[in-house]
Amino acid sequence: MVKMSRLLKKRTAYIIIGISIACLILGPIMGLLFDKMPIHDKTGQIIQEDSSFRITNAFAQPVTLSKDQKLIVEISEFYENTTVTIKIIAKSLYDREYSLNSTLTGSIPGLWFVYSEFGWGASPTGSTDDATALTLPNDGNYFYIEFMGHRYQDSLISWPGDYYIIVYGTNSGPASVLDVYFDISIKVDGPGETLNNLLVIVGALILVAYAALALISILKANYLR
Amino acid sequence: MGTEERKVSLYDMLPVMNKERATKFLIYGLLIAIIFGTILMISKSIADNAGIWLSLENQQNLMNYMQGLYGYNDYIVKAEKAILISYWMEYQVIILGNIARIGVNVGMFFIAIAFLSFALNDKFDEKTRRIYLVLAGAILFVIMVTTFFTQIAVILT
Element (H, E) at A43: strand A36-48
Instruction: Tell me whether residues B25 and A223 touch, CB distance under 8 A.
Output: yes
Q: What percent of chain B has pLDDT over 70?
A: 85
Determine the Cα–Cα distance for residues A211 and B31; give it in Å rounded to an integer: 14
| Chain A contact for B22 (CB, 8 A cutoff) | no
The pLDDT value recorded for residue B47 is 95
Cβ contacts of residue A211 below 8 Å, gap of 6+? none
Put simply, whether B68 touches A (Cβ < 8 Å) is: yes
What mean pLDDT do residues B76-103 have?
Answer: 93
Domain ranges of chain B: 17-148
- The pLDDT, as a whole number, for residue A102 is 75
Q: Looking at the partner chain, which of A119, A120, A223 has a beta carbon nearest the beta carbon of B10?
A: A223
**CB within 8 Å: A128 and B25:** no
pLDDT at position A7: 65
CB < 8 Å to A118, chain B? 65-68
Question: What is the CB-side half-sphere exposure of residue A183 using CA atoms within 13 A?
Answer: 10
Reduced to 3 states (helix: H, G, I; strand: E, B; else coil), residue B119 is: helix
d(CA B24, CA B4): 29
Helix or strand or coil: residue A141?
Answer: coil
Partner-chain contact B10 A224, CB within 8 Å: yes
Contact list, B13 vs chain A (CB under 8 Å): 223
CA distances from B74 to A128, A129, A184, B8, B67 (A): 12, 14, 20, 62, 13
**Which pLDDT score is estimated for A120?**
85
The pLDDT of residue A154 is 82
Q: What does DSSP say about strands A113-116 and A142-147: parallel, antiparallel, or unpaired?
A: antiparallel
Phi, psi values for residue B100, rounded to 5°: -65, -35
Poorest-pLDDT segment among A120-129, A215-224, B73-82, B109-118: A215-224
Is the CATH number 1.20.58 carried by domain A36-189?
A: no
Mean pLDDT of all residues belonging to chain B: 85
Strand, helix or coil at A158?
Answer: strand
pLDDT reported for residue A206: 93
- Ranges of chain A with pLDDT below 50: none
* B16 vs A178, higher pLDDT: A178
> How many residue pairs from chains A and B have C-beta atoms closer than 8 A?
53
Instruction: Kindly state the average pLDDT of the residues B138-144.
Output: 85
Domain ranges of chain A: 6-31+194-222, 36-189
